[in-house]
Amino acid sequence: MRKLKFIVSGGGTGGHIYPAIAIANELKSRFPDAEFLFVGAKDKMEMQKVPQAGYKIEGLWIAGLQRKLTVQNMMFPFKLISSLWKSRQIINKFKPDVVIGTGGFASGPLLQVANSRNIPTLVQEQNSYPGITNKLLSKKANKICVAYENLERFFPKEKIVLTGNPVREDLLNIDSKKDEAIAHFNLDANKKTLLVLGGSLGARRINQLIEKEIYNIVSKDIQVIWQCGKFYINEYKHFSDGKNVQVLDFIDRMDLVYAAADFVISRAGASSVSELCLVGKPTIFIPSPNVAEDHQTKNAKAIVDKNGAILLKENELDEKFETTFSNLISNESLQKELGQNIKSLAKPNATKDIVEEIIKLIK
């Protein structure tokens, strides 16, 4: 069989990057001789994370539109023209068999050019409310793999395949990693562990909440692993005490940190929600209200409506957090119920199912 070539594009946040890497890894396991090229946005985190995963990446000069009038917005037409030009050069040189987009602004110009050349394209939408890039791309894409039901409002129904979101392969068997996790993070095996996740860049309001509540949490004989994000590490790292609290900007071994956790407080980005379904830990979602169409709240509600997690909005935290958290950690039957229900919503075969759809597109 001839050597296949795949371009994978998406980025800006871990929520777009890690699904892209998971898809590439699965394709590579099926087609070991295949060539891969990632395309991302210059100066975004994919330019570091993708090479760390062992793949080549090209960067486009592209960024999203801001919600208010800024110099960046005035530059947008020039960035778009530049990115379309470079996308043409990349596609002409690499000659991909299929182009895969996982969201983020970099995937827009690239898939647009691929569609105009009749190169098969697949869009992977992680959220319950799609972003503008994927909505535009869906009109000409060959297939759209989604993680939530009822997306016919946004995408052509005949192109939609419900697969779930790609997740890291190493999260599939975390139950066997508890001892390794305790050793890795130097935890006390006799204490419960709270994991706090603010997303790859961090979450100001969650950080403020934990700053306010940290001594109250620790007083309940709970140890804390607090991922505060790279923008906030200098502000909060002094809370690390080498004993009960660890403050980290980024966590590389997510498999081990999930294995260690007894409870989770998290944003409700699509990848985080999918991972938490897979690991099945009692979770309090605190969605970001500062995202397009409030899609994190919609992501969380899809789980909460099935009694699989607890939802607290940012404007409820001062009033409700202490009571909600105390009730969760003291109620073992609630913990068990939430853990079982969220796990029942997992789609562990998502990456394989998406790759099956990609294989169907190879001409």
54 Cβ contact list (under 8 Å, min separation 6): none
Tokens 């997740």 locate to: 167
What is the pTM assigned to this prediction? 0.84
> Which residues is 263 bridged to in the sheet?
194
**pLDDT for 45-91, tens place per residue?**
778 888 899 999 887 766 654 445 555 556 655 666 767 778 888 99
| Cβ-count burial 197-233 (b if 16+ within 10 Å, e if not) | bbbbebbbbbbebbeebbeebbeeebbbbbbbbeebb
What's the mean per-residue pLDDT of the chain? 90
**pLDDT for 131-141, tens place per residue?**
888 888 899 99
pLDDT at 66: 46
**pLDDT for 132-191, tens place per residue?**
888 888 999 999 999 988 899 999 999 999 999 998 878 888 999 999 999 999 999 999
**pLDDT for 89-99, tens place per residue?**
899 999 999 99
Q: What six digits make up the tokens of 159?
A: 């192109």
Q: What six digits make up the tokens of 15?
A: 């929520």
**pLDDT for 215-238, tens place per residue?**
999 999 999 999 999 899 999 999
Q: What is the DSSP string of 243-302?
A: SSEEEES--S-HHHHHHH-SEEEE---HHHHHHHHHHT--EEE---SSSGGGHHHHHHHH
- The one-letter amino acid code at 88 reads R
Q: Report d(CA 158, CA 59) in Å as an integer.
A: 32
